[in-house]
Amino acid sequence: MPNFADPFVGNVNKKMTDQELANAIRLDLAGELEAIYLYDAHAEATDNVLAKKVLRDIRDEEKEHMGELLSLLIHLDPKEKELFEHGEGEVREMKEKLEKVSCKTK
């Protein structure tokens, strides 16, 4: 959760290297994920139609921020892109195997 007690907690007293910035972006991503979870939980916890609509819209904007931050992270740390693509390939292989099994059982 944010630390509002100290208004200077987010200040960095020097220029960051790209690697330091990449690490900071990873923390930013964690914050976006937490916000997505909270907005979604709050939307599900109410029957107020307007509140649900607004909270879900804000949640979706946080998801857009995730995409922006991930793109920036990949730019700052090209090795990250390789790892993401490798992980994506593993999921694609698992999905294809499941689809083959699903087709055989039909």
Cα–Cα distance list, 45 to 1, 49, 58, 72, 74 (Å)? 20, 11, 15, 33, 35
In a domain, residue 87? The reply is yes
Quick check: is 6 in a domain? Answer: no
At 102, the pLDDT band (50, 70, 90 cuts) reads: confident
In this prediction, residue 8 has a pLDDT band, given cuts at 50, 70 and 90, of: low
Cα distance between the two ends of the chain: 47
pTM of the predicted model as reported, rounded to 2 decimal places: 0.78
Residue 11 lies in a domain: no
* Full residue range of the structural domain in which residue 67 is found: 18-105
pLDDT category, 84, cuts 50, 70, 90? very high
Q: Tell me, yes or no, whether 33 lies in a domain.
A: yes
The pLDDT of residue 10 is above 80: no
Structural domain contains residue 7 = no
Phi, psi of 3 (to 5 degrees): -105, 85
Task: Tell me whether residue 9 is in a domain.
Answer: no
How many separate domains does the chain show? 1
pLDDT tens figures, 44-70: 999 999 999 999 999 999 999 999 999
